[in-house]
Structure 1
Amino acid sequence: MKIMAVLAVLLISALCMGAVSAAGDYTNVSNEGSAFVFEKIALNGTETGNTSTVLTKFSEGSNPTAVNTIYADTNGNFSLYESSVNGQYGTYYATSTWDADNMSKVFHVSIWYPELSLKAELTTSIDGTTGKTSGDSVEGKTINKNTNVTFLLNTPMVGPANKPGRFVSSDNKNLSAKIVFTTPVGGKTTDFGVWFGAPQKFGALTVNQSQNNAGSARPGEDATAGTYTAQAEFTNYKPFSDNAKKSNTVSFTVQSTSLSLTADKDSVVRSNPFTTTIQGDSKKVYFIYVEGTDENQPYLLPGQSGYQSQYNTIPVTSSNSPISPAVNNNTVDVSGQKYHSWGYFETDASGKRTVQFNTQDNTDDKTYTVRVITVNGNVKGDDYDTVKVKVEKGSVTISASGDGSYYLGDEIKLTGTNTDSSYIFLFIDGPNLGYSDGVVLKNLPDQTAAYSATNPIDVKTDNTWEYKWDTSNIALDTGAYTIYATSKLTNGKASSAIKLTEDLNSKFNVYGTVLVSGTNDYYAVKLSDSEYATISVSLKQPFLSANPSGTVVAKGDKIYIRGNAEGNPNSLYLYMFGPNYYEKYSVSVETDGSYEKKIEIPSSLASNQYFVVVQHPMYNGQFDAYEEKGVFMIRNTTTGGSQQGSFVVTGANKLQGSQAADALTKMIDSSNIDDIYTKLTFNVEEAWIRINTVGDQATGTKFTISGTTNLAVDDQVLVEVKSSSFDVTDKSSTSMTSGVSQAVKVVKGDGTDNVWSVEVDSTNWKLDEYTVIASGIEADVSTTQNFNLVEKINTPTPTATSTGVTPTTTATATATATPSTPGFGAFIALAGLGAVALLVLRRN
């Protein structure tokens, strides 16, 4: 059992040591020295205060407290387990309490983690005395086989094993590390690449406290292409080599050193850019250019990354380069600015450089060759590559809102696309225009030749465009027209170009095209030299309609004037004339051209015929025939207000009724103005309601009570049916209620009169005489009629049909009948007939 206990103690001790070295000697650390996780340390025996059995780290601030304590073993030494340090790095004191006055005298050491990190960077220069200088990181990038790379070790706290404050045996004076490379096929080695013809070894690297230059190398021509990883680790100091974490991993890809040039697309629509990518050596300057000397060929985007302006004076001659000497002077004129179609660019750490070329709307539609050449000092090398990019014409589309037929005054929304240029020029062709090849649409009503456009439409970044064309004041006749949308300034639909001279307008040169190389002559090109699209539109005269809700309107009622006004007017005027009566109304028009005006008819208005004129302002948007202070006048648009004719509608000498309406329509008919009108008439009458004869009705039946009226459609009539008798009813009586009260709408009849009706159910009504009262709700008018509710309506007995045989009879004297008094129903019927006769006589 004792043996088992000893083994258990030994096992626990081994586990507690964790990854700490099993070396027998402790590293002696003096006051203010440094120690590291995984080490076993002894406080230097010659130092004061070394007898403490604890090392304590205190918090910051005015009242520090212990944040971590490490206890000594039975020998008074300390094993710096990772778990005991617990991530609390920094200064530890050989005491468990804080004494602000004496802490500087207390034995203390700094404890750190043995951190190791690795970098791999481009070698930008080599100094024979100081070694290599590094530049951009190659982490995650692609390098060529001849790219020089410098590897850097960084150990910010760890230095030599015998640095001040540490006392170790002579075999641990130098701390070293290695870099392990994993090849693309999974092999591991500490050798990588070559340096000055010899293999470069990274297996024994001295570690200093600062960043260490571990060495430089290039992969070499024999290197396997693919992705490599590199990772550093400690070697000769067992507490670190056995336990400390390895460095970060650096990954990079090695590829062939051959020069290549690729493009992001095989073809591009002109006015759009394309990019080419150089793949060559890291941090190397290359010359790239577009072959040929076209004046409008693709050109370099200015200010690009990697552009080497200092090399622009290097001569390009046939003696040191396979390119033409003309390239050195080849520039492209873009809006008055000169841009090169060639340049010098330096690749990045991975040997890449992306170079953008721009095209214009006048770049020739053909295939261009872009070439890249190596630069060796001031001489072009023999290594080169090319790529071809085709520049194509773009396209133009145009469409219009609506169905292609429009009233003058409408707004027509023109939209489309343009992938050929940054502008859209619009011109229109049609009957009786000032120029046979078309006029600028945006300049209307001024008619100017299509080649004089100085106000094109900008094309948006998504290649779309739009223009809202207001046709209210364009001075065009009605008819069919063709609208052209072009990507260049053209000479209308002409088959020849026209030179834009200074006597036209110098601004034309902004949009014109240079057709003759080497000159400053600008042209509006022929239509076939531009991308274009067309659309046909039909312009027609606006019309105006007006309809009254009825031809007769009752006093105290209302009338609606409804209609349509084409041509997109903001408003209309409605004039109402009658005997000693004039009123003017402004009427709003809806977006669909419809309008409605409700006119209240006063009860005091005279019964008579009234006239309405509705006026449309037409193209110029103003009412050229107008009323002011009771006087109608015609506006003279050329002189700004002088009268061409007038008449009075209020006060002395006024025109009334039909005379005033006729005078106004004749005024609007004047050829000097563009207004149009429509007219209508209606009669105003005393309000009336009539009830059609009801007649006797059998109890328990359903029947209809109806009538006619001159009240407006949709007016309401209150129909009441109630008993004509008057009986005193006992409070306790449970007699049934008879009658009905209901509001019904007036509807349009077959003739001039409107009608109304109500359904009546006489179930459970008592036999009696009933009164029907029909009253206007909106107009003060009513009428009544009585009818009987009887037990049964007798149906007349049919007369027997003769057999055709005349019997022989004996003649007898005929008795004289005794007259009898007509019943109530018969009296009502006769009264009704009398009323009808009277009505006929009155009408006659």
Structure 2
Amino acid sequence: MKNTKIMTALVVLLAAALCIGAASAAEYINVSSGNTTFVFEKVNLTDGTESGTLTLFSEGSTPAAVNTIYADSYGNGANFSLYESSVNGHYGVYYNTSNYTKVKNGEAAFVYIWYPEISLKAELTTDPNTGATSGDSIDGKTINKDTVVSFLINTPYVGPVNASKAFPDGRFVSDGKNLTAKIIFTTPAGGKTTDFNTTSFANVNLNQSQNLAGYTKAGSNAAAGTWTAQAEFTGYKPFADNEKKKSNTISFTLQSTTLTITAAKDSVVRSNPFTVAIQGESKQKYAVYIESPATNEVNPTLQPGQSGFQSSVNNKTRPNNLSSYSVTAGFIYYDGYSNPIGGIFETDASGKRTIQFNTAADTEDKTYTIKVSSLILATGDVDAFDSSNYDKVKVKVEKGAVTIAASGDGSYYIGEEIKLTGTNTDSDVIYLFVTGQNLLSDGVILKALPNLKAANQAQEPGDTISVKTDDTWEYKWDTTRIGVDTGAYTIYATSKLTNGKSSNPTYDTDGKTVIAAKLSDSEYATISVNLKQPFLSAIPSATVIAQGDKLYIRGTAEGSPSTLKMYLFGPNYFNAESITVEDDGSYEKKFDVPADLSSNQYFVVIQHPMYNGEFDAKLSTDGTYFYIDGKNTGGSGTQYQDTFVVKGTNKLQGSQAADALTKMIDDANIDDIYTKLTFTVAAPYIRINNPGDQAAGSTFTISGVTNLAVDDQILVEVMSSSFTAIDKTSTSTTSGVSQTTKVVAGDGTENAWSVEVDTTNWKLDEYTIKVNGIEVDVSTTTNFNLVEKVVTPTPTATSTGVTPTTTATATATATPSTPGFGAFIALAGLGAVALLVLRRN
């Protein structure tokens, strides 16, 4: 009895072991070489088994093992568990060998190992009959309850188009066991469901790489709020049981399908556009228009060519109750000025559409009501507005503003450039006109000067100024040739063409259409400017200049000329130079006096081109004669005959030529002005004030006078008179000093110089002082004694240079009535030179 029980127990245990083994073997799926497998599966490689490994090799000429998966068991075939950890993120072709030569020769069995990817997309449906999509995702967006949405499940490796070829083992496709998935929706309340409206997404067949799971709208009964959706595998246990193999989550918000219209902003400055957005049913046509447009005012207008605009639709979508509107076959609504103020628009798949209206400089500034209405389909030729389904929004169109400013202090010389700047938020164009003495009473166009073109005339393209995108504008007014006299003027900047400063508009021939508005109907700003006559001044650095030295002429030329002309006259001497004027009107001209220029009196004329920016009194191109260019004088355009010669045969004497040039510039027919001056060229000299006897060890000053220019450098040397060359074996001590100093301005026509000498440790001796010009070849000497006891000396002036016979004191006087150089010529005979500065009246 006991043995019988033992045998029975053994039989039970053996049967149990056999059952366990059968169950374990059933976990593995038989696959043959060339088949596709996936992570999470257990497979049995049934043919060509060489070893208990699957190896993925690298690319290249010498492949190496990238990843190796070891078999659970190896014998009659090889069993492999394709865990995530064993595949380790390496996908592709795995060979049942570690010998790449067999792989190369095609002698090794292989399988494809992929990850069973699954992803979910939800897109707006463009064709409700086929579920075709626009590619516009609703993830993170808001849609209407009637918006049709297509849900797509993407499984790039699991569900190829030809499943029977890729999976010949039939584990996905035979006997109705197709691989499937489901979409789980989470409602705003937190509930879970596979239904969206009346469409079930509980069993989606995966028979291609991207599967259209279904398309539907949420329906009016769907809860408003945020929904989420996620796809996951069903049916196939290795995938369905794995929590990791779920798709991405998408979310979207459902809103009620109420027709609404909103404006991007409550108000807009005219000349700028504004937009309104409608929200209604998906792919539905609505009428959008300005409610009760004025028939005698300029209204905002519809931007042409907008998305969703219905330019050609069946008459049944054309409303028949458009009183106060003119409707064309293109379904655009027009106001009394034939401006398009509305039309029919179709919403997109999400039920939205944005519409733009434009405003102009003459758009009436007031509040406009923009209305959206649904249409009632009729059995007749036309439809009607649905008076129960509409919405409105108000947009206020406001006037802009204009500003104007001018550079500087408001007072300008004719010929200067005046920079006018400002802002204009009312229109895209600035109109400028100016008023002043004896101009047209209501103003003339500023940019048209010197032509007196009335401000209310139709503006040429060059007469107006464009406003930049940042609402600023700028105009540089060149006053060189404006053809007006000096005085006060007022500049107006307006946002539209006006009848100047008049309080009445200008009408077209029909007597109704306004061509130029009255000033009060435009935004405008004003600024006053005072135009002055330019003047010219010149001051020489000295009136007596040493031969070989330099002369500086400095002054001011108002009116912004770029250059001046300088002419120098003297005995058998003439020279012409150009002078560059700085931005602030100042100028400086350096004239290097030739060392061989004769000692005598010389005359300078500096010429200003004045208002027209041209030198009307000109020197001929060969530099031999002066003439007046008639083209700028209102004459025939030919040269005047009253010329005079400055070089060659029949030339005038230097002083006479200078006088003739000033009289020529005084001609009433030209606008040039001039200033004039004289200077004297003399032989260079340096004088030393003899210091007399000086006590040994004292410090004293050596000084003197010179006609060298201020800032010229001179060398002062003091040396012992007993200094001689001696044998190198002898000893000798000498005393002295050598140093440079600059010439400084003196009290009169002579300039001064000085150095300080310290005689400490000098020996008692006679000393020689020698002064040399560094820039000009001139020198002089004198002697003094260094003694123990000082005897007060009586200083005397000594010079080895040539003392000039003419000296002068520089004075600057305004002499507008002086016609030329006659006074200078008379003064030269008296041995005095005066500086004259002329400002033309």
TM-score (norm 1): 0.81
Q: Find the aligned partners of 1:715 and 1:330 in 2 and give their Cα distance.
A: 87
Could you tell me how far 1:225 is from its partner in structure 2? 2.7
The secondary structure found in structure 1 opposite 2:536 is coil
2:448 corresponds to which residue? 443
1:489 counterpart (497, 500, 506): 497
The secondary structure found in structure 2 opposite 1:662 is helix
CA contact (8 A) 2:325 2:335 kept: no
Q: Find the aligned partners of 1:58 and 1:767 in 2 and give their Cα distance.
A: 109
Could you tell me how far 1:49 is from its partner in structure 2? 4.3
Matched, 1:173 2:177: yes
The secondary structure found in structure 1 opposite 2:777 is coil
Say if 1:741 and 1:73 are closer, same or farther in 2 by CA, change over 3 A: closer
1:121 counterpart (114, 120, 123): 123
Residue 158 of structure 1 aligns with an amino acid whose one-letter code is: V
CA contact (8 A) 1:162 1:173 kept: no
CA offset digits 1:510-538 (Å, max 9, x no partner):
xxxx994xxxx451111111111111111
CA contact (8 A) 2:195 2:202 kept: no
CA contact (8 A) 1:480 1:537 kept: yes
2:395 corresponds to which residue? 389
Q: Find the aligned partners of 1:653 and 1:52 in 2 and give their Cα distance.
A: 123
Could you tell me how far 1:232 is from its partner in structure 2? 1.0
TM-score (norm 2): 0.82
1:699 counterpart (676, 696, 699): 696
1:715 corresponds to which residue? 712
Residue 630 of structure 1 aligns with an amino acid whose one-letter code is: T
Q: Find the aligned partners of 2:683 and 2:336 in 1 and give their Cα distance.
A: 85
CA offset digits 1:692-741 (Å, max 9, x no partner):
23122111111111111112211222222222235675645665431222
1:646 corresponds to which residue? 643
Q: Find the aligned partners of 2:335 and 2:51 in 1 and give their Cα distance.
A: 83
1:614 corresponds to which residue? 606
1:242 corresponds to which residue? 241
Say if 1:767 and 1:316 are closer, same or farther in 2 by CA, change over 3 A: same
Could you tell me how far 1:115 is from its partner in structure 2? 2.2
Residue 367 of structure 1 aligns with an amino acid whose one-letter code is: T
Q: Find the aligned partners of 1:474 and 1:621 in 2 and give their Cα distance.
A: 11
CA contact (8 A) 2:300 2:358 kept: yes
Structure 1, unaligned stretches of length 5 or more?
1-20, 502-513, 796-824
Q: Find the aligned partners of 2:759 and 2:51 in 1 and give their Cα distance.
A: 120
CA contact (8 A) 1:155 1:210 kept: yes
Say if 1:344 and 1:728 are closer, same or farther in 2 by CA, change over 3 A: closer
Matches within 5 A, 1:48-87: 49=48, 53=52, 55=54, 70-74=69-73, 76=77, 77-87=79-89
The secondary structure found in structure 1 opposite 2:353 is strand
The secondary structure found in structure 2 opposite 1:545 is strand
CA contact (8 A) 1:553 1:712 kept: yes
The secondary structure found in structure 1 opposite 2:520 is helix
Q: Find the aligned partners of 1:430 and 1:486 in 2 and give their Cα distance.
A: 17
The secondary structure found in structure 1 opposite 2:658 is helix
CA contact (8 A) 2:689 2:796 kept: no
Could you tell me how far 1:42 is from its partner in structure 2? 3.3
Q: Find the aligned partners of 1:833 and 1:53 in 2 and give their Cα distance.
A: 125
Say if 1:701 and 1:51 are closer, same or farther in 2 by CA, change over 3 A: closer
Q: Find the aligned partners of 1:352 and 1:384 in 2 and give their Cα distance.
A: 15
Residue 475 of structure 1 aligns with an amino acid whose one-letter code is: G
Q: Find the aligned partners of 1:574 and 1:80 in 2 and give their Cα distance.
A: 100
Q: Find the aligned partners of 1:772 and 1:581 in 2 and give their Cα distance.
A: 38
2:404 corresponds to which residue? 398
1:219 corresponds to which residue? 218
Could you tell me how far 1:753 is from its partner in structure 2? 1.4
Q: Find the aligned partners of 2:511 and 2:228 in 1 and give their Cα distance.
A: 59
Give the alignment's Cα RMSD to 1 decimal: 3.5
2:257 corresponds to which residue? 257
Could you tell me how far 1:788 is from its partner in structure 2? 1.8
1:768 corresponds to which residue? 765
CA contact (8 A) 2:124 2:350 kept: no
1:152 corresponds to which residue? 152
The secondary structure found in structure 1 opposite 2:715 is strand
CA contact (8 A) 1:611 1:680 kept: yes
Residue 166 of structure 1 aligns with an amino acid whose one-letter code is: D
Moved more, 650-659 or 388-397: 650-659
Q: Find the aligned partners of 2:211 and 2:86 in 1 and give their Cα distance.
A: 30
2:583 counterpart (565, 573, 591): 591
Residue 474 of structure 1 aligns with an amino acid whose one-letter code is: I
1:789 corresponds to which residue? 786
Moved more, 725-734 or 211-220: 725-734
CA contact (8 A) 2:259 2:390 kept: yes
Q: Find the aligned partners of 2:499 and 2:155 in 1 and give their Cα distance.
A: 75
Q: Find the aligned partners of 2:750 and 2:126 in 1 and give their Cα distance.
A: 105
Moved more, 135-144 or 201-210: 201-210
The secondary structure found in structure 2 opposite 1:619 is helix
Residue 343 of structure 2 aligns with an amino acid whose one-letter code is: G
1:331 counterpart (323, 327, 334): 334
CA offset digits 1:137-175 (Å, max 9, x no partner):
322221122333332333344359995622569998243
1:690 counterpart (675, 679, 687): 687
Say if 1:326 and 1:689 are closer, same or farther in 2 by CA, change over 3 A: same
2:487 counterpart (448, 472, 479): 479
CA contact (8 A) 1:515 1:523 kept: no
Q: Find the aligned partners of 2:283 and 2:499 in 1 and give their Cα distance.
A: 52
2:231 corresponds to which residue? 232
Residue 710 of structure 2 aligns with an amino acid whose one-letter code is: V
Moved more, 771-780 or 27-36: 27-36
2:372 corresponds to which residue? 372
Matched, 1:543 2:535: yes
2:820 corresponds to which residue? none
Q: Find the aligned partners of 1:101 and 1:143 in 2 and give their Cα distance.
A: 56
CA contact (8 A) 1:192 1:217 kept: no
Matched, 1:184 2:188: yes
Q: Find the aligned partners of 1:107 and 1:728 in 2 and give their Cα distance.
A: 115
Q: Find the aligned partners of 2:410 and 2:153 in 1 and give their Cα distance.
A: 76
2:835 corresponds to which residue? none
Q: Find the aligned partners of 1:113 and 1:398 in 2 and give their Cα distance.
A: 71
Residue 758 of structure 1 aligns with an amino acid whose one-letter code is: V
CA contact (8 A) 2:690 2:798 kept: no
The secondary structure found in structure 1 opposite 2:611 is coil
Structure 2, unaligned stretches of length 5 or more?
1-22, 378-382, 808-830, 832-841
Q: How many residues align?
A: 752
1:745 corresponds to which residue? 742
1:466 counterpart (452, 474, 480): 474
Could you tell me how far 1:625 is from its partner in structure 2? 1.5
1:431 corresponds to which residue? 437
Q: Find the aligned partners of 1:747 and 1:477 in 2 and give their Cα distance.
A: 45
Could you tell me how far 1:194 is from its partner in structure 2? 2.2
Residue 499 of structure 1 aligns with an amino acid whose one-letter code is: Y
2:300 counterpart (280, 298, 301): 298
Could you tell me how far 1:407 is from its partner in structure 2? 1.0
Say if 1:34 and 1:650 are closer, same or farther in 2 by CA, change over 3 A: closer
The secondary structure found in structure 2 opposite 1:166 is coil
Could you tell me how far 1:312 is from its partner in structure 2? 8.0
The secondary structure found in structure 2 opposite 1:310 is coil
2:6 corresponds to which residue? none
CA contact (8 A) 2:320 2:384 kept: no
CA contact (8 A) 1:472 1:619 kept: yes
CA contact (8 A) 1:265 1:274 kept: yes
The secondary structure found in structure 2 opposite 1:472 is coil
CA contact (8 A) 1:581 1:656 kept: no
Could you tell me how far 1:99 is from its partner in structure 2? 5.5
The secondary structure found in structure 1 opposite 2:637 is coil
CA contact (8 A) 1:141 1:349 kept: no
CA contact (8 A) 1:396 1:486 kept: yes
Could you tell me how far 1:632 is from its partner in structure 2? 2.2
1:419 counterpart (421, 425, 428): 425
Could you tell me how far 1:471 is from its partner in structure 2? 0.9
Residue 258 of structure 2 aligns with an amino acid whose one-letter code is: S
Following TM superposition, the consecutive aligned residue runs of length 4 or more in structure 1 with deviations greater than 6 angstroms are 58-66, 169-172
1:562 corresponds to which residue? 554
2:38 counterpart (16, 36, 39): 36
